[in-house]
Chains A and B, each alone.
Chain A
């Protein structure tokens, strides 16, 4: 095992050397960094040129310059050396500094989108696999192909026009005409009926009730101008919380496990009480505090599950912890909604909250909630765009993996010995279907950092992709190399992680040392 890892790492180092040499030469030969001066008629043209030649060391031929660069880059490996030197960009800024900033920007942009895409994609994949050859399956398959074929820059422009500008206009006077409310209700009702499957009567009941509920809620929102002054309040949190508790229990342990159901519901009760308790605390929240609260919430859930016990203590604990986390998320969401009016009326935002470009409103000031809301409103559009285009692969992949597993003999055995459908799917099929998915996810996380080039360029986020493209267009080698190094190293590390995870998850696969 250790031999294997060491050997992989050594190979990786050589591959990295080769690839970086290649990229360095290619980038250096892709253009002329002095082009803008050659065309200029400034009197100090020669001086400017000399300064840049000096800065970027252009008199050294590229292959030699690579080794100079490598010498600086090698110092990054020395731990605690603080001598990391990746060169300077065309403006004289050290690359390490630029990279640090860009990395933060890119990670805030892609993390949420990737997590959501994975969650939604996997759930959709499972549902379609369970309803193979149904209307839902065909619908999702077609949508997956469509999203697969969407150019993200095109989606982004549409989102800006309809998602941001349209929604902002709507917020100016947030009234939903009755016909529109009924229409949205009808669409969601039809979707619900398709998703739920089963006999026509059941579909009709579910579809009809969703239609009625959605339409009524939209009427209510329109009457109370909810979109201007959103909020959940303890009552709604309690209702949604009970729904979440029951749903989570159904998935984790089945309703037959009464103790698990009880622990989930107890957690919901604690959550509603905690809602009042934490309000003053949340008023001066920080990121760290939210994080600690989240951990505390999960611990409370685990504790409740532990003390409720039941015939399967683990199930109770899992159900309670997941419910606790989701209810906690509801409370935080409610607090965000409380901050919404003050964000909306902020002098910098001026009633147009959903932003089309950038990573934050310039010069905005406010407490934690205002600042977070600002980040979130800037993230909404890129996140939706990224989810749309990356959803398809997860859905299709989960579906095929799940179908593969559902036809295995041990699934038939599980059914034959009388297990409930829930435990066949969640306990036997889903866990095994996750093994190949884990590989894909590891790969994708590895590719995350370099993957959002177009999204960044469309939404003017100055992240890694921007650094790369900008460097490339000015024939500036050092930023390109910096981005490449980060991307390649994460990709290789996560490739290794993927392989190790695969052998850890699937005992049939053994690593040969």
Chain B
């Protein structure tokens, strides 16, 4: 298979949870709330911090440089402007001496500025990613939560629905959905909206496809949590279903949800670029990172920079999201301290200064 799927993530989580049992770490966490502990752990994770910094930098660069939502950016070109070729389109930026130049990433054959195109593409990819993460997370949490909390026929219906969607390979389903999202032949309001904001439609559609894995995870989490004593206590003291779900169970399940939404987002970036590459995602005249790679792969021998920069940005975004997700997983995982038995002496002297980048609880 080409990319690890959500399915694997789920399996990894399940297998680990099964094997590990319900042992909680016996860390000294006196007087700290869950949020504070998580934050402390996350900011102690070097890889995640670097990932966060890189992603923030790319985000700012992409959205301020060429402008977004109708606000103009500080860069002089946009992704459709054609300007005369400077130095046959070779990138003008250089590391030493550090210089930016007229076209830092170079130009394509007809003189469009690659920096502007890449930034526009990164914007589109990030937008799709965030939309997918938000929608898939919300739908997955609701479906999984309802199924896990109410059991009975609600669970049967919702989980069979999940089964139906989950057996369709993600890329195939996404391709069909992407194709539908790109239909422009009707005169309805959605078509006119889509013609301006194609990428938003794409993100929304894909979000409604990718929630299934999350729903299964959240359901599993709810199934164990609803049997816990504090839920019984809440029920006996007369709390409503809504209160139990939102005040008692959800805060305990939020770790799993956040971590897996992040991982879904990193998969979403690759999915969007792959779809655009296949011609089923973002379409010209608008641009996306995958589309840029697809359009320029033939020119690799003559204008390699057209190919390098968009690909580099795909990798950077995806890598930083993966590291953030990894840091979050370590931060939310109470079993974190468990795997250091063999090198306990070594790590106890290190743990205050260097955060463990690699922890056993990653199942990616």
Residues of A participating in the B interface, judged by any CB pair closer than 8 Å: 11, 14-16, 18-19, 22-23, 26-27, 29-32, 110, 114, 129, 132-133, 137-138, 141, 144-146, 148-154, 157, 161, 386, 389-390, 392-393, 396-397, 399-401, 403-407, 436, 439-440, 443-444, 447-448, 450-455, 457, 468-469, 472-473, 480, 483-484, 487-488, 491-492
Contacts and interface: CB of A to CB of B under 8 A. Distances in A.
Contacts of A148: 4, 266, 318, 322, 364
A30 B180 contact: yes
Contacts of A15: 160, 163-164, 167
B172 A397 contact: no
B171 A450 contact: yes
Interface string B175-186: 111011001010
Interface string B1-20: 11111011001100110011
A401 B19 CA distance: 9
A125 to B, nearest CB: 11
B356 A133 contact: yes
Contacts of B314: 149, 151, 154
Looking at A22, A404, A406, the one whose CB has the most chain B CB atoms below 10 A away is A404
B163 A31 contact: no
Given A386-B2, A454-B278, A436 B8 contact: no
Contacts of A393: 4, 8, 364
B164 A19 contact: yes
A431 B339 CA distance: 19
B270 interface: yes
- Nearest first, the 9 closest Cβ-Cβ pairs linking A and B are A451-B1, A436-B15, A149-B318, A393-B4, A403-B360, A30-B179, A154-B311, A450-B169, A149-B319
A11 B177 CA distance: 26
A145 B326 CA distance: 10
B185 A404 contact: no
Interface string B339-364: 10111001100000000111011111
Contacts of B2: 152, 386, 389-390, 451-455
Contacts of B168: 19, 22-23, 484, 487-488
A397 B3 contact: no
Contacts of A399: 360
A29 B164 CA distance: 19
Given A152-B2, A386-B2, A436-B15, 12 more contacts: A14-B160, A22-B168, A23-B168, A149-B318, A157-B300, A397-B12, A404-B360, A447-B169, A451-B169, A453-B171, A487-B172, A491-B169
A491 B343 CA distance: 41
A468 B278 CA distance: 12
Which of B8, B160, B294, B342 counts the most A-chain CB atoms under 10 A from its CB?
B8
Contact of A145 (B160, B323, B341, B346): B323
Interface centre among A133, A152, A439 (most CB of B within 10 A): A133
Contacts of A32: 185
Contacts of A491: 167, 169
A138 to B, nearest CB: 6
Given A153-B274, A386-B2, A451-B2, A492 B167 contact: yes
B167 A19 contact: yes
A150 B19 contact: no
B293 interface: yes
A396 to B, nearest CB: 5
Interface of B: 1-5, 7-8, 11-12, 15-16, 19-20, 160, 163-165, 167-169, 171-173, 175-177, 179-180, 183, 185, 266, 270, 273-274, 277-280, 290, 293-294, 297, 300-301, 307, 311, 314-315, 318-319, 322-323, 326, 338-339, 341-343, 346-347, 356-358, 360-364
Contact of A443 (B7, B179, B266, B315): B7
A393 B1 CA distance: 11
A390 B358 contact: no
B126 to A, nearest CB: 15
A436 to B, nearest CB: 4
A473 B356 CA distance: 47
A54 to B, nearest CB: 23
B160 A132 contact: no
Contacts of B179: 30-31, 472-473
17 contacts: A18-B164, A19-B168, A22-B168, A30-B176, A132-B343, A137-B358, A141-B358, A154-B307, A154-B311, A393-B4, A397-B12, A400-B361, A444-B1, A447-B5, A452-B1, A468-B175, A484-B168
